[in-house]
Structure formats: structure tokens, C-alpha cells
Amino acid sequence: IVGGTVATVKSHPWVAAIFWHSKSKERVFRCGGSLISACWVLTAAHCFPDGSHSKEDSFSVTLGKNALNETDLTVEQTFGVEEIIIHEGFDINGENFNNDIALLKLKAKRGKCAEESTSVRTVCLPSPQQSLQPGFTCEIAGYGKEKHGLWYKSQYLREARVTLLADDVCRHRDYYGNMITDNMFCAGRPDGSQDACEGDSGGPMVCEVDSRLFQVGVISWGEGCGKAFRPGVYTRVTNYKRWIEEKVGLTSISVG
Ligand code: 4AZ
């Protein structure tokens, strides 16, 4: 996160940290994610560059995490991954990030996945017809870099506020032109002062509607971080409501 502030996971209790296990068993932070039901985490497809060959055993997910390099067993909940579902329409080799969305099924422990606490809870998904006006301000959170080009990620969870851009603005040649598909939208700050950055992808953008927070976007990509005319690009979650329901099952998600 560029230009934001340190946040506690209690104010973003659906945030998930996805780790990859190296051959030497080191846990390497890979991506953000969001808890949408007790056993399911929503994230970005590009977090799994091996696509459907990604090995479930090589990943784990921690909920309730404030700091990447510190473990607080009193609040954190860590799970293995039972299944990785990458959107069928995501093109791993392609140069565009269309359909950059994936689901992780958590491995239950003694019959249970995530247990609700002040640091762990699910986020609501918007209804497919929900649409927010350009200029609406929403919140992003993640453990990603505080500046493009840094070699290290943020030690702590951070948050920032970004404003939704009109699609025709983001598709203007001064911005991203035809790189923006109908499954994406852009958000940022005119001066680039707040943005998502490397390591934040897969994490949620949430917007407050009628005093409830809905996950409207998945942090996906952008050219650099915090640059004017180069806003953050997000996967449009409303377009995937049916896909998510089909994979997860209607029973277990909070619907707005
Ligand atoms: C990334 O590499 C990334 N400024 C995510 C978001 C943005 C740029 C890069 C948006 O994961």
C-alpha cells in the first residue's frame, strides 16, 4: 500500500495472508485475499503462476494477521489449502489480466474452518446489479510495498483510500487505453498519493454502502504504484457473483 497508514486486522478482519512454502519449507508471503465464508478465500488468479498445476500443499492461509514477520497465536488462524480454483477465463500466458480471480478452499481442522472473532470475520459480496458512481471512495488493505521499486514488502497491514474512476476515463489513451476489459475497473487518486502496490494483489477493495462494507474489487494490477494516469486496476467482483456462488455453493456466503 502506497501513502496509507498502518491498520489493525480488527478493522479489516476479512483480510487473508496467502503464503507459499518453498522447498526448504520457508513460508514466503505471496498475496492478499479475503474471507468470504468460513472455508473460502477470494483472491487473484495471477497469484498462482503455475495455474491449475499449482499444488495445494504448497500454500497456507493465515487470518487475523497484523504483522507479516510476527506470529500472534492468540488471534491468528492458519489453514492448509484444500483446493485452488482459478477462473477458467484467466489467461496465465497472456499479457492481460482479464478474469484475475481465484478461490481457495481452506482445509478444515476438527470439522471447522475460520472461527469468527474480533480479528476474523467474513466480508459481504455485492449484489450483481450494485454499481457505484465514479468519485465514490473505497478502502484497500494489504501487506504490499509502500513504494514501487522497494525490494521489501510492508511488515504491517496497511490501509488506504482510493476513488473510483469512470471506465471511459481509465480507457482513455492517456490512461490504460484498451487494456481495461469489462471485468476490470480503476481506482486511485488524481495525484497518485494512495494506491495498491506489489504484494497487495489478491486483497480486497471494500466500499461502504448503507453502513455495510461490501467487497467490490480484488486488487489486480497497475503500471507501477502511485503514479498519475496509472491508477490501480481491480477485478470487478459483481461480474463474478454467479461464478463464486457456483464454486462455493449458495449456502455459505454473506450476500448484500
Ligand atoms: C502487483 O504487482 C501490483 N498500483 C498490484 C497493484 C498495483 C500495481 C502492482 C497497482 O501486484
The rounded Å distance from CA 74 to ligand 1 centre is: 31
Ligand 1 site, residue 221, Cβ cutoff 6 A = yes
* Predicted complex ipTM: 0.98
Q: Radius of gyration of the chain from Cα atoms? A: 17
Does position 18 have pLDDT exceeding 90, yes or no? yes
**Ligand 1 atom closest to the CA of 233, numbered from 1:** 10
- Note the pTM of the prediction, 2 decimals: 0.96
Does position 112 have pLDDT exceeding 90, yes or no? yes
For atom 8 of ligand 1, the residue with the nearest CA is 222
The rounded Å distance from CA 38 to ligand 1 centre is: 27
Does position 254 have pLDDT exceeding 80, yes or no? no
Ligand 1 site, residue 203, Cβ cutoff 6 A = no
**Residue 195 banded pLDDT, cuts 50, 70, 90:** very high
The rounded Å distance from CA 73 to ligand 1 centre is: 30
Closest by Cα among 77, 62, 76 to 21: 62
Distances (CA, A) of 185 to 31, 76, 131, 208, 243: 20, 32, 11, 17, 18
Strand pairing of 184-188 and 158-164?
antiparallel
Ligand 1 site, residue 225, Cβ cutoff 6 A = yes
Please say whether the beta carbons of 196 and 170 come within 8 A.
Answer: no
User: What is the rounded average pLDDT of the residues 169-180?
Assistant: 97
What is the pLDDT, as a whole number, of residue 30? Answer: 98
What is the pLDDT, as a whole number, of residue 95? Answer: 76
Ligand 1 site, residue 139, Cβ cutoff 6 A = no
**Residue 48 banded pLDDT, cuts 50, 70, 90:** very high
Closest by Cα among 180, 217, 177, 186 to 201: 217
Residue percentage of the chain with pLDDT more than 70: 97
